[in-house]
């Protein structure tokens, strides 16, 4: 097959990592793969040499003329070969891809990467999504957000783990609580820092390490200082090989208000880490975690519940380790090969 993957960029993030895993897997299977970036040109993930990467411009900044040009440039690429299958990632990018492909013979698949309820233009999105040949959702909850006409075209395919997972480690762990994700409102790192502030009063020898970058960093640093934990909260920036940073931490915590399927949570589970997550829509965390068996789920937005869960893990390390071992089931269930094969089936089928 010839596949074009369309994305805003490849500069780091959950969607971008999934694209990299899929592109590399398809390339290894001798499919022709091209990644088209619509608004950025940085590539943070290692790709097979046969994967072509194209950047067609910068951010539109809301400019109508730039948006029209983006659609024109995408359409020009699509028209080069009607046998190319277009796979688009992310709501805004999906709209550009579907408009660019209108009337062409290319098969177009769009992938919802987050909570559909967060979309600020659902009427427009739903109207344009009807043009898609098929859709990929991360969870069943995400598919149920749409009408039967749209949902009926869709498949539920969770995220794949990275193709190369390091060996899990059990036993002595660093007194570190870790998380990974963009420093943006959705991830609610402020909640995590608040919960850690309460946790640190009882467990002062722990520190919180936050991997990721984003425009909220200075605000979050100031909040940590306000709570007098600034020396215990470490902002470690983006890490491509995140597994090597997480593997021997005491626990991993996801504090998001909403989420698709968190790659960092899944990797932490695959490494055998004790994990805690908010039970956030659209059900990705609840899909991965069976509460109190292979991790802990807490209500969205509750610093008190998050602090309590962190204390539970720190106080009963034997129970925490047991949950971590049970969490390793994701290695098989969400392996790159198993999930990528589902993608290949979805891409190869016509509705």
Most confidently predicted of 172-176, 214-218, 236-240:
214-218
350 pLDDT higher than 60? no
Can you tell me the mean pLDDT for 221-247? 93
Q: How many Cβ atoms from other residues are within 10 Å of residue 228's Cβ?
A: 11
Opening angle at CA 24, ends 212 and 59, nearest 5: 50
Structure tokens, 334? 């969400």
How do residues 202-214 score in pLDDT, each as one tens digit?
999 999 999 999 9
Specify the CATH superfamily of domain 176-333.
Glycogen Phosphorylase B; (3.40.50.2000)
The pair phi, psi for residue 219, each rounded to 5°, is: -65, -40
Evaluate if residue 141 carries a pLDDT over 70.
yes
User: DSSP assignment, residue 212?
Assistant: B
Strand order of the β-sheet with 52-55 is: 52-55, 32-37, 2-7, 85-89, 108-111, 134-137, 154-156
- Taking the C-alpha atoms of residue 180 and residue 169, their distance in angstroms, rounded to an integer, is 19
120-140: pLDDT as tens digits: 999 999 999 999 999 999 999
- Kindly provide the b/e burial profile for residues 49-86, where b requires at least 16 CB atoms within 10 angstroms of the residue's own CB: eebeeebbeeebeeeeeebeebbebbbebbeeeeebbb
Q: How far is CA 247 from CA 119, 171, 282, in A?
A: 35, 11, 27
**pLDDT (average), residues 288-298:** 97
pLDDT digits (tens, 9 = 90+) for 54-82: 999 888 888 999 999 999 999 999 999 99
Average pLDDT of the residues in 24-32: 94
Could you check whether 2-160+335-348 and 176-333 share the same CATH topology? yes
How does the average pLDDT of the chain come out, rounded? 94
**Residue-wise pLDDT tens digits, 169-201:** 787 899 999 999 999 999 999 999 999 999 999
Amino acid 351: pLDDT: 38
Q: Where are the domains of the chain?
A: 2-160+335-348, 176-333
CATH topology of domain 2-160+335-348: Rossmann fold (3.40.50)
pLDDT digits 0-9 by tens, 246-270: 989 999 999 999 998 999 999 999 9
Instruction: Tell me how crowded residue 118 is: count the other CB atoms within 10 A of its CB.
Output: 13
Can you tell me the distance from the alpha carbon of 273 to that of 275, in angstroms, rounded to the nearest whole number? 6
């Amino acid at each position: 097959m010839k596949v074009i993957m369309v994305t805003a960029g490849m500069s780091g993030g959950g969607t971008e990592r999934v694209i990299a895993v899929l592109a590399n897997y398809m390339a290894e299977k001798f499919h022709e793969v091209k990644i088209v970036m619509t608004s950025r040109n940085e590539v943070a993930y290692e790709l097979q040499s046969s994967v072509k990467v194209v950047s067609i411009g910068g951010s539109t900044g809301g400019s109508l003329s730039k948006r029209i040009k983006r659609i024109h440039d995408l359409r020009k690429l699509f028209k080069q070969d009607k046998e190319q299958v277009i796979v688009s990632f992310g709501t805004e990018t999906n709209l550009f891809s579907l408009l660019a492909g209108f009337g062409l013979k290319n098969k177009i698949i769009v992938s919802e990467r987050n909570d559909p309820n967060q979309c600020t233009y659902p009427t427009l999105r739903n109207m344009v999504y009807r043009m898609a040949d098929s859709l990929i959702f991360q969870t069943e909850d995400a598919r149920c957000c749409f009408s039967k006409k749209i949902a009926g075209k869709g498949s539920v395919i969770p995220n794949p783990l990275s193709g190369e997972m390091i060996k899990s480690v059990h036993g002595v762990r660093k007194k570190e609580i870790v998380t990974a994700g963009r420093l943006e409102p959705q991830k609610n790192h402020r909640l995590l820092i608040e919960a850690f502030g309460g946790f640190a009063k009882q467990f002062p020898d722990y520190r919180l390490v936050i991997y990721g970058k984003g425009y909220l960093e200075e605000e979050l640093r100031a909040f940590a200082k306000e709570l007098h934990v600034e020396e215990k909260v470490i902002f470690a920036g983006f890490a491509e090989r995140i597994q090597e940073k997480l593997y021997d931490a005491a626990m991993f915590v996801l504090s998001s208000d909403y989420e698709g399927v968190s790659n960092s949570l899944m990797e932490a589970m695959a490494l055998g880490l004790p994990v805690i997550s908010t039970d956030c829509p659209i059900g990705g965390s609840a899909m991965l975690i069976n509460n109190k068996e292979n991790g802990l789920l807490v209500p969205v937005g509750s610093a008190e519940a998050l602090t309590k869960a962190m204390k539970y893990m720190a106080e009963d390390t034997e129970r925490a380790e047991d949950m971590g071992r049970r969490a390793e089931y994701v290695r098989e269930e969400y392996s790159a090969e198993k999930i990528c094969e589902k993608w290949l089936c979805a891409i190869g089928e016509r509705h």
